[in-house]
Amino acid sequence: MAFVHQLISFDDEMDVLIKMGSIVDGDARRNAKSCLVSGSCYDAKIRNQQHRQQRREDAPKLVSLCSSSEQESKADAVVRYCNIEDKYHVDPRILGAGHHGSVRQCNDRATGQRFAVKSIRKDDPHVKPDGLSREIALLREMRHGSIIRLVDVFEDADYVHIVTDLCQGGELFDKIVEKSSDGDNDAPCFEEGAAARVVYQILSAVSYMHERGIVHRDIKPENILFETAHEDSRVKIIDFGLSRKHFQNAEGPMSTLVGTPYYIAPEVLLRKYDKACDLWSIGIIAYIMLCGYPPFNGATNRQTHESVLRGRYEFHAEDWKYISGVAVDFIRRLLQLDPSQRMTVQQALHHPWIVKHACCAMNDMLN
Categorize the per-residue pLDDT at 362 as very low, low, confident or very high, splitting at 50, 70 and 90.
low
What are φ and ψ of residue 45, in 5° steps?
-60, -45
How far apart are the two ends of the chain, measured CA to CA in Å? Answer: 40
What is the spatial distance between Cα 291 and Cα 11, in angstroms, rounded to a whole number? 26
- Report which secondary-structure segment, H or E, holds 48: helix 40-58
The residue type at 238: I
Distance of CA 165 to the CA centre of its chain: 15
Q: How many CA atoms lie within 13 A of 62 on its CB side?
A: 26
What is the spatial distance between Cα 132 and Cα 146, in angstroms, rounded to a whole number? 21
> Does the annotation count 218 as an active-site position?
yes
What is the spatial distance between Cα 129 and Cα 3, in angstroms, rounded to a whole number? 7
Annotated ligand binding at 122? The verdict is yes
Least confident of 62-66, 150-154, 329-333: 62-66
Check whether 216 has a pLDDT greater than 50: yes
Q: 237 - beta bridge partners?
A: 147, 224
CB 243 within 8 A of CB 214: yes
pLDDT in tens, 145-170: 999 999 999 999 889 999 999 999 99
pLDDT in tens, 114-140: 999 999 888 887 777 777 888 889 999
Has domain 169-366 been given CATH number 1.10.510.10? yes
Helices (H), ranges, 83-240? 131-141, 172-180, 192-211
Predicted pLDDT of residue 101: 77
Domains of the chain, by residue range, sit at 169-366
Predicted pLDDT of residue 359: 63
Catalytic residue among 25, 152, 156, 218: 218
Categorize the per-residue pLDDT at 16 as very low, low, confident or very high, splitting at 50, 70 and 90.
very low
Check whether 62 has a pLDDT greater than 70: no
Least confident of 5-14, 78-87, 175-184: 5-14
